[in-house]
Amino acid sequence: MYGKMHSTCLYGIDGVIIQVEVDISNGLPQTSIIGLPDSAIREAVERVRAGIKNCGFTFPLQRVTINLAPADLKKEGSAFDLAIALGILVTSGQLLLPQDEKLLLIGEMALDGSLRPVNGVLSMVDRAKREGFTAVLLPEENAGEAALIDHMNIYAIRHLNELRQLAAEHSAADVPGKDQPLRIQTLSPLLKATTVAAASVPDHLPAEDYADVLGQLHVKRALTIAAAGMHNILLIGPPGTGKTMLIKRLPTILPFMTEQEALETTKIFSAAGKLKEPGSGLIRRRPFRSPHHTISSGGLIGGGTIPKPGEVSLAHRGILFLDELPEFNRQVLEVLRQPLEDKTVTISRARAVHTFPAHFMLAASMNPCPCGYLGSDHPEHQCTCSFSRIAQYRAKISGPLLDRIDLQVEVPRPKEWSTDAPSLSSAEMRNQVLEAHARQQQRYGSGYGSWNSELTGSALRRFARLDSASADMLHQTIETLGLSMRAYDRILKLARTIADLDGQENIAFNHVAEAIQYRNLDRPQITGVG
């Protein structure tokens, strides 16, 4: 007796369709699972055996072989339990499923036959739709997440007994194992009202607002530029000047994600098991990830036997905030260099190469020196660090990584403490960002990305042209400061964003000058070293 079901598993953050083949033959009672299963899949035998018996079915006292194809692909997780259980019941002639739909089966089974949710359902169902499946049967807790994929019939159950009860309504036999199996003519009674309406984007902003930050108008200007073009930014200043406070409010001025961006981000969070409310629709607000400085390279980039997404992928289309940047292990920071350039993370293993999306804005903060008070004009807090200690402290951040940070901004102690001092609110800053972003989308269409920071090669030369005076000043700056060609390109992109914020189609001299002055750490007189 031979039967075949279809299930799926995660491979990285993408779903992969797996054929669950069941063969039942005469021989000593034994059940084996082949096809490179992990421990959780091998243990499915005992879960399925108990679940089938506790639902009133009969587990075959024969030789049962279950093959997960393709056999050369390493598989992990508990999403195959339902497919294995139904494969055994259908192959042994105890149950008949309807043949009018191409059905995918997902779900972990408890010992009593109830179903438990699994991670990564959004990616799994999305893959199934692209491979021609029309329906999916899965645990009720996963139904809202699965319903985010259009044009798929979602059948949700809480217990295997629901299939038994449904079959009994249409079958001539009340007891399985007789001449006629329990027959399910249609799954439609199991269809839950799981269609999730398009998530409405809230008009209000979070409680955190830039209006709470007194003064620091030049830093707010830099943050507005960073948000308008998705440029990387580093804030440098003594303790207590508001660096962390300023960066944590960045999400309040960023545009909401597009439909495609929201789907990409939600799939990553689903695969990582971090989707807090699966039935609430796609994630619309841009992610803000702030890992502790003790994080490992694998935690930041992703890893594992079958690699899982790390913090850079969880920050996809959002912000990765590294507070106290020099406190991070230098080797950990160095792994950021590739994703900052390529917007993806590539992890190689013996059997496969995995590529995760990692299109994020890097936001970081640091003290100017080990004691933190270099450049502080406070009479009680004078810097006591030697030039060699400062150089050693700064050396924790490599030149190539620093080269990839577009804005390096000093955050001094605020001069004005009055609440009546002029201050920009998140709403005002966000309006500027939205206008600049709209100009970029209109200019680039669908061919060059959505942000100025994505411009490369000929597109950068085409959309970020300089007049002769601006070009001469930029070339002279590059020669004087010894900047790299990467820094040259990033200054161009920054000037393009500043022009967009000013509503100008052409980059002017003052736009380039402002972009150059944000390269603070490239100027020896600012660093205090040498």
3-state secondary structure 161-201: HHHHHHHHHHCCCCCCCCCCCEECCCCHHHECCCCCCCCCC
* Phi/psi of residue 67, nearest 5 degrees: -110, 130
Comparing 47-51, 134-138, 158-162, 213-217, which segment has the lowest mean pLDDT? 213-217
pLDDT of residue 418: 58
In this predicted structure, the answer to whether residue 197 has a pLDDT above a threshold of 60 is: no
* C-beta separation of 452 from 511 below 8 A: no
* Other CB atoms within 10 A of residue 16 CB: 17
Query: Residue 36 CA to chain centroid, in angstroms?
Result: 28
pLDDT of residue 307: 84
In this predicted structure, the answer to whether residue 12 has a pLDDT above a threshold of 50 is: yes
The confidence band for 196, taking pLDDT boundaries of 50, 70 and 90, is very low
In this predicted structure, the answer to whether residue 272 has a pLDDT above a threshold of 60 is: yes
pLDDT of residue 445: 82
Going by C-alpha positions, the residue among 408, 424, 508 that lies closest to residue 466 is 508
In this predicted structure, the answer to whether residue 30 has a pLDDT above a threshold of 90 is: yes
pLDDT tens-digit readout, 441-483: 999 987 778 899 999 888 999 999 999 999 999 999 999 888 8
Rounded Cα distance, 512 and 372, in Å: 31
The confidence band for 351, taking pLDDT boundaries of 50, 70 and 90, is confident
* Other CB atoms within 10 A of residue 165 CB: 11
pLDDT tens-digit readout, 219-264: 999 999 999 999 999 999 998 888 999 999 999 999 999 999 999 9
Rounded Cα distance, 292 and 184, in Å: 52
> What is residue 490's three-state secondary structure?
helix
pLDDT tens-digit readout, 53-111: 999 999 999 999 999 999 988 899 999 999 999 999 999 999 999 888 999 999 999 99
**Encoded amino acid at 355, one letter:** T
Under 8 Å CB-to-CB from 274, ≥6 apart: which residues?
314
* Phi/psi of residue 455, nearest 5 degrees: -65, 135
Which is more confident, 519 or 131?
A: 131
* C-beta separation of 29 from 45 below 8 A: no
Rounded Cα distance, 42 and 36, in Å: 10
Alpha carbons within 13 A on the beta-carbon side of 436: 29
The confidence band for 208, taking pLDDT boundaries of 50, 70 and 90, is confident
pLDDT of residue 383: 86
Going by C-alpha positions, the residue among 338, 244, 252 that lies closest to residue 293 is 244
* C-beta separation of 109 from 116 below 8 A: yes
* C-beta separation of 181 from 163 below 8 A: no
* C-beta separation of 2 from 36 below 8 A: no
pLDDT of residue 530: 33
In this predicted structure, the answer to whether residue 172 has a pLDDT above a threshold of 70 is: no
**Encoded amino acid at 313, one letter:** S
pLDDT of residue 198: 40
Rounded Cα distance, 13 and 265, in Å: 11
In this predicted structure, the answer to whether residue 337 has a pLDDT above a threshold of 80 is: yes
pLDDT of residue 176: 47
Residue 174, judged by CB atoms within 10 A of its CB (0-12, 13-18, 19+), counts as exposed
pLDDT tens-digit readout, 387-424: 899 989 988 999 899 999 999 999 988 776 656 666 78
pLDDT of residue 282: 86
Q: What is the mean pLDDT of residues 123-132?
A: 96
pLDDT of residue 122: 94
Residue 96, judged by CB atoms within 10 A of its CB (0-12, 13-18, 19+), counts as middle
pLDDT of residue 421: 62
Say what the pTM is. Answer: 0.88
pLDDT of residue 183: 86
